[in-house]
Structure 1
């Protein structure tokens, strides 16, 4: 079953075409990884899917609903999506528990005792059960990103969007966050993520999509895209990745 369908998605900033007619389907329980050079449109695509950016053209259908319809309240559509960005975006004045329970309580009307019980279960799942009453600035970057993922999962989203979630981390913290995403992938989560971690993409992705200058140039299973791509631009990009020791 197709959970997300993107058709003809276009977006420009100041006359510069950032997304140029993107067509993309994501099946339920599928892990789709977006790769490409910085500025290729990966983050903009995720922000458009989450309706954080206005579309210049195109259509986004989530679970059979055209969420790009301007008559639709975008906040309603976002309730079906969890999103984690490069920066952690945790509220510094709130404890970890309050950060995770805020949306379920305020947006979804979950009673506080249930929201807190669910949050404690999520903290155990991400390996931080003892950090419920800690404040974000008392956590490492990797711990903050794991809390951000727990927060994104707190309202049981159908689709999880992950935007370069390890790019702001020190190298030694990258592994703990990617390990968590790997665990989520094995439980059947539907994930659309952008990453520069090619080795991780090779291990976890059901499908890899290469973006270049706002176009989806090539897509397929990681065994094909990352080892024997057909498009010259994909081969050039991966050659540079290999030279940098990232694949």
Structure 2
């Protein structure tokens, strides 16, 4: 495996040379997001994500994890603060939101595959229509990624012929097909049967080994402990605690973090 000089995992061995290495890939400064007058979802959130690292966002449902990811991809407009991608303020009103999203891959809980398109067409649609990649090149990259994720024989299938785990792997391939600088994963195992969770998490392990920069919102605490370089515990829209997995899971400093993890342990999830 090689990596590009911009820190992007080069999953098919051909580097894109942007020359933006050095600082954090993603930086949030005092980000605040509210719904209506009284519902504050993110409260002055600061976060830095370094190249080739995995940041896991943990916390109870409603703590702000998914909203943070949606703000980072400009799917939600922040009310205050700033978000930077490779040092460029992407929340500046003059920023081209579509251009920003072309540099960020996102995978949600729902697979969101087009049911009337084959796996190959689902994956190549954005590279061809948005990035202007010729069909032959887009299809070659898609087939290579499918092979790497164990789906090489499924290129001509329609989504309803695939299991949930296979559909989620296709969704990950689709996100990777645009050669993203950053990959955001939002509870990607939440909709899966328990026996399918492992195959999807295995893909994320492989991406980490390939050097992909990722931010993951997850309820899979054991997986977060294993794969993350940085763990952020969110509570009430605040990053209440952050650190290495060893620190946050093994020696949490905040009472609220300890109570959360005690419940997770009691439920047999850590």
TM-score bin, normalised by smaller chain: over 0.9
Partner in structure 1 of residue 51 of structure 2: 28
Return 5+ residue gaps in structure 1 as ranges.
Answer: none
1:164 aligns with 2:191: no
Partner in structure 1 of residue 32 of structure 2: 10
Following TM superposition, by how much is the alpha carbon of 1:228 offset from its aligned partner in structure 2, in angstroms?
A: 1.1
> What CA deviation, in whole Å up to 9, does each residue of 1:195-247 have, x standing for no partner?
00011011100010000000000000001101110100000000000011000
1:155 aligns with 2:193: no
Partner in structure 1 of residue 101 of structure 2: 78
Q: Distance in 1 between matches of 2:147 and 2:251?
A: 40
Q: Distance in 2 between matches of 1:127 and 1:13?
A: 41
Following TM superposition, by how much is the alpha carbon of 1:58 offset from its aligned partner in structure 2, in angstroms?
A: 1.0
Partner secondary structure for residue 122 of structure 2: helix
Q: Distance in 2 between matches of 1:63 and 1:134?
A: 37
CA root-mean-square deviation: 0.6
Alignment map for 1:76-225 (pairs within 5 Å) = 76-225=99-248
Q: Distance in 1 between matches of 2:24 and 2:34?
A: 27
Following TM superposition, by how much is the alpha carbon of 1:28 offset from its aligned partner in structure 2, in angstroms?
A: 0.6
Partner secondary structure for residue 172 of structure 2: helix
Partner secondary structure for residue 226 of structure 1: helix
Q: Distance in 2 between matches of 1:226 and 1:131?
A: 39
Partner secondary structure for residue 2 of structure 1: coil
Q: Distance in 2 between matches of 1:226 and 1:60?
A: 28
Return 5+ residue gaps in structure 2 as ranges.
Answer: 1-22
Question: Structure 1 residue runs of 4+, over 4 Å off?
Answer: none
Following TM superposition, by how much is the alpha carbon of 1:6 offset from its aligned partner in structure 2, in angstroms?
A: 0.3
Following TM superposition, by how much is the alpha carbon of 1:70 offset from its aligned partner in structure 2, in angstroms?
A: 1.2
Q: Distance in 2 between matches of 1:170 and 1:45?
A: 26
